[in-house]
Amino acid sequence: MIAHWNRFLLENIAERAFHDANNTGFDLPKCYPGTREAIQKDLSKWVRDVERKHSIYWLYAPAGSGKTAVAKTLADSFSNLATPLSGLLASFFFRRSHENNEKKFIATIAYQIKTNLPKTSPFIIGAIKADPAIFKKDLQVQLSKLILEPLSRASKTATAVERANWRQLIVIDRLDECARHDAQLKVLDVVSCLALSPFQFAIFLSCRPEAHIRGAFQTHLAESSLNVCLPDKYYSDDDIRTFVVGKFQEVVRSHQASLDFPRHWPEKDVIRQLVKKSSGHFIYAAVVMNYINVLDENPVERLDVILGLLKDPDDENPFATLDALYSYILSSIKKKYQSTVETVLKIATAQSLVSRSNYSGVFDEVDLGSFLMLQPGHL
């Protein structure tokens, strides 16, 4: 019977929201070796501090700054530590247009608590058995029944030594990609309750600093949180340079059997230009290096394309060169594939618009066909 309720819990989690989930076609980025070492050191110190002043570490930055890579690396580094106290308790990576949303947030965290703190298992399963509709309830009700009450009851059955060694780290990333603003605020209310609970959680949360999220951290989360702006506190250019140089070394290794590279390729000034154009955003450097390092293409020629795009002097917008690269890539698509790519982009745009709106219905075939400007029956 217990196996039945275990399966029922599994059916209600977002299985691709874990830091180590098998996300086919969408692997979470990690910090490149030798980069982001300063923040990882600071985060490690914060997690291990049993007398930490702030239960929440809010890392915020614009899109493309590398927040998810920091979160993923943090979760990975603490997931298999020998010392339980410093271990990862749970993780949740939100994702737009995906099941990784607030509706499965509590169940997914509860499942990981059940796994990492076995003494909570009978109480979590008992709560589900007592109310099989618990996953349809308000987030605060789920939090109480599936997390706080089981932890409280389990703590009474555990020894002082066992309680002292309970895992504490919870990693939450991309909150801004969680459906609607009201849903994001509900998740922050849950985070606030966890932070104020007696269980000494270390909650790392990373996202964009959107106005309503900033407002929450400036009001009811203010005393519980340490708020850190990634680009302000941690200088990114040196890390981006390390990444770009390392990636060019990979390019040479993967192509040297079939291509004679020019001497001293790429030149130091090219590295300097790429780092400067990144403007502290890892996403630009990552897209550029992915574009250059394609096995069936000539990386020297592809770098020349990038350098040609750098001639645009628009330094005010850090994404201007990235926009130019995407435009070039799209304009280079073979004619026979253009209609297919156009349709795929329309579908992706439709999903994004729906996920960011307050639309709560089903985006059905008629809606999608209309958006794609297709005749009835052609979808």
Output 4 or 349, whichever has higher pLDDT: 4
Q: What is the pLDDT of residue 234?
A: 95
Question: What residue spans define the domains of the chain?
Answer: 2-233, 237-331, 335-371
pLDDT of 161 above 50: yes
Handedness of CA 346, 352, 353, 358 (dihedral sign): positive
Q: Which residues contact 148 (CB under 8 A, 6 or more apart)?
A: 193, 197
- If you average pLDDT over residues 192-200, what whole number do you get? 95
pLDDT in tens, 56-99: 999 999 988 999 999 999 999 999 765 556 699 999 999 876 67
CA distance 241 to 291: 17
3-class SS of residue 57: strand
* 3-class SS shares of the chain: helix, strand, coil, % to 5: 55, 5, 35
CA distance 341 to 360: 28
**Of 72, 60, 62, 61, whose CA–CA distance to 31 is shortest?**
72
pLDDT in tens, 84-141: 566 999 999 998 766 768 999 999 999 999 999 999 999 999 999 999 999 999 999 9
- If you average pLDDT over residues 308-328, what whole number do you get? 68
Q: Write out the H or E segment, with its range, that includes residue 143.
A: helix 139-143
Q: What is the CATH number of domain 2-233?
A: 3.40.50.300
pLDDT in tens, 148-157: 999 999 999 9
pLDDT of 370 above 60: no
